[in-house]
Chains A and B, each alone.
Chain A
Amino acid sequence: MTSITATPLETRPPGGAPVVAGIRRTWRRIDPRYLQIFSLGALLIYGMASGLLNQTAVNAAAAAAGAFVAQAIGSAMIATRARLLSPLITTLSLCLLLRADAPWAMALAGAIGVGSKFAFRWGDRHIFNPANAGVVAMLLLGATALPGVAWSSPGQWGSAFLLAVALAGAGFLVTARAARTDAALVFFLTFAGLACARALYLGDPLTIPFHRLQNGAFVLFAFFMITDPMTTPNGRWSRALFSVLVAVLAHVLTFNFFIVDGIFYALAAACLVRPLIEAFEPAKNYQWPLDACRAAQKPN
């Protein structure tokens, strides 16, 4: 006799609605990092295949190598599981935002980005957004010790590609609901408000600030970088303050100091003072759904 272990048909919930609810529950449990990887990966593939994004496969592979090696070493040092999602996101972001001639420079960017998670910590969280740390470190190196080693290409986005980024970004935020949509919104609105205010003050046509808001690096930054839950404050108000700070700093660096890559430096600076901002609004640390699930499954 064969025993039937499948759930008997009659015990299944009748009707369609509970099925939808089930799908919804599962959907909600999907780690937003998968959605981010999917969005960034699709953008990268589209950008490279269409020739709109001038990134080489070799450099992309180098960035990945740097990021994963740094993750493996870092994980081994603090005796924790080596994670795959985070270094992959860092790699994809770097490929979209950073350019270099030499593959080793991209590898270094990946290693610095992921390495910063282990090297710079405050309490039980890392301080810098890993991809941002990689970009900033390489831009600084390129401007000082290693002239021209890496650079960003903020102008290199056709309108089609930009539209794709905006769609993917909006899609990502809506579906992921990574608890950080507000960070993107507050940043975007503050930056846009400042740019428009400046134009009104100068008597410039509004086409000028609007043109600024269509900058490729800016859009990618707003949707995918500043929304990282691990390096933005946990409390809602401190997060808003953080986003405003990034926007104001970015504005000042761009328009008063004429630093083309101002947004990246602004985020790094804001991350540095994040513990201060958070001190006034203690909140529970964000946990990725996947990690939360794993923690829950762990036997006590």
Chain B
Amino acid sequence: MNSAKKRLIAALAAGTALITTGGAVAFCGFYVAKADTKLFNKASKVVLMRDGDRTVITMASDYEGPLEDFAMVVPVPTVLERDQIHVTENAIVDHLDAYTAPRLVEYFDEDPCRPVIMMERMAQATSMDAAAPMQQRAKSLGVTIEAEYTVGEYDIQILSADQSDGLSTYLTENGYQIPTGAEKTLASYIKQGTKFFIAKVNLEEQAKTGRTYLRPLQMAFETRKFMLPIRLGMANADGKQELFVFTLTRNGRVEAANYRTVKLPTGQDVPRYVKGEFGDFYKAMFEEQTRKENEQAVFLEYAWDMAWCDPCAADPLSSEELRELGVYWTDGSQESRVRPTAAPDVFVTRLHVSYDREHFPEDLIFKQTGDRSNFQGRYVIRHPYQGNAECKAGEDYRAGLPIRFDEEAQTLARLTGWSIDDIRNRMETDGQSTEPGPEEKSSWWKRLWGGEDKEG
């Protein structure tokens, strides 16, 4: 009778919570942290809009050196006209980064002696620097300057070449540092009819903008190739390079066609102390998972319809932002002001790859799938109930906590490769002992037979 009444109250309470949070509560928990791309050094961020052969590529880098030293060389399929090149704002790419970032959520255990109430909350975004540029000087070495533009703070040339040595000489003379290993790769691209997009910072133009950082460069073109040339980048790289690819498509998730695409482990419960070092956790986990896949995998970190998110690490991008990134089928402007989150038919995929020449010999080739199922990197902290909970359920609850903590410790060790003993020690310091308390130790038999037949 009593328990039936309790259940009814629980049901009512849950129902009330659903109503007060506006329905559509897919899961409960507080969003507390996200791991953005800034955690990784030498990280490049590329946004690819792809629809049929139409492609818009947005390239942001975390370049932080002197602006006059900045230079980029990108193989492109065709000679681009002035209008096909554009400079955008870092904030948009950062917004996309924040929206798709792996996230940490936390739950607070309810009083085990009382019913459960569901709750939820959303969260915010951040920003960061990026970009590309250069300077120019013309001289022919079997190199044709197909076009020259100044776009924003960048001086841009589109080159075609007959010979890789001519091209590399030209680039070297113009202040591009071409590592020796790159020449072969350049030759391969030349034979495939590739053009080269080269960019440097125009310091005068840069001064006019008053900015101290570089903005992302964008290109729009049509090509059958849905790919990202990564081979040039590997020629001069010491160690691994981090690349984040965000794709915006219509049908569904994007995956690599010539490498294995693996979902990042998600949904795991991790110890409470991870909250203070979520960035380190994510980095360690990514490295560990990369290692487990023999360093040959591309990781899926987010796949979602851009119209919503749950929980949101940042608001979905507005139609204007998406248009800026190349999503030409959204009609920017008014409608989006009314409903800033409504972007029709935009599916976002976030891929993360840590690559080097040994494990990624080929350029990344992509493929759009029809898979529209949602995926996010999400990790959970569960805070134990802090109150007294003086009831049988409360006793059981407390007795079960060390087991739960130890499971969390093991999960964390498995995900990150961190030492289990270190994790247990950290948890101990954090007040989450994985050792059963003296009371629990001595009274396991009490729980075994209910502990009712006391003497006296």
Contact = CB atoms under 8 A, between A and B. Distances in A.
Contacts of B373: 101
Nearest to A201: B191
Given A156-B255, A208-B361, A211-B361, A203 B371 contact: no
A155 interface: yes
Contacts of B188: 202-204
B370 A203 contact: no
Interface string B242-284: 0000000011100111111100000000000000000000000
A211 B362 contact: yes
Given A201-B191, A202-B192, A208-B361, A147 B260 contact: no
Interface string A74-104: 0000000000000000000000000111000
Interface string B29-47: 0000000000000000000
Nearest to B347: A148
Interface in A222-272: 257-260
Contact of A155 (B225, B251, B256, B372): B256
Contacts of B361: 205, 207-208, 211
Interface string B183-201: 0100110011000000000
B252 A260 contact: no
Contact of B260 (A99, A150, A156, A204): A156
Interface string B275-298: 000000000000000000110101
B187 A155 contact: no
A208 B257 contact: no
A149 interface: yes
A203 B256 contact: no
B368 interface: yes
A108 to B, nearest CB: 13
A149 B252 CA distance: 10
A155 B255 contact: yes
A205 B256 CA distance: 21
Contacts of B368: 148, 151
Interface in B357-371: 361-362, 365, 367-371
B224 interface: yes
A220 to B, nearest CB: 15
Contacts of B250: 147
Interface string A146-187: 011111011111110000000000000000000000000000
Q: What class of interface size applies to chain A in its complex with B? A: 20 to 34
B296 A159 contact: yes
B284 to A, nearest CB: 22
B187 A203 contact: yes
Contacts of B227: 258
B370 A155 contact: no
Contacts of A24: none
A259 to B, nearest CB: 8
A190 interface: no
A259 B370 CA distance: 17
Interface string B174-188: 000000000010011
B251 A147 contact: yes
B224 A155 contact: no
B224 A211 contact: no
Contacts of A202: 187-188, 191-192
Given A100-B370, A151-B369, A158-B293, A208 B362 contact: yes
Contacts of B298: 155
A289 interface: no
A204 B187 CA distance: 9
Contact of B370 (A149, A154, A215): A149
B255 to A, nearest CB: 6
Contacts of A151: 367-371
Contact of A153 (B224, B255, B372): B255
15 contacts: A101-B371, A101-B372, A148-B252, A148-B372, A149-B370, A151-B369, A151-B370, A154-B367, A155-B367, A156-B255, A203-B184, A204-B188, A205-B361, A258-B225, A260-B365
Given A153-B255, A215-B258, 9 more contacts: A101-B372, A148-B372, A151-B368, A155-B255, A157-B260, A158-B260, A201-B191, A208-B361, A211-B361
Interface of B: 184, 187-188, 191-192, 224-227, 250-252, 255-261, 293-294, 296, 298, 361-362, 365, 367-373
Q: What 10 A-B pairs come out closest when comparing CB atoms? A: A148-B370, A148-B251, A207-B361, A202-B188, A258-B224, A260-B257, A151-B369, A258-B225, A155-B256, A203-B187
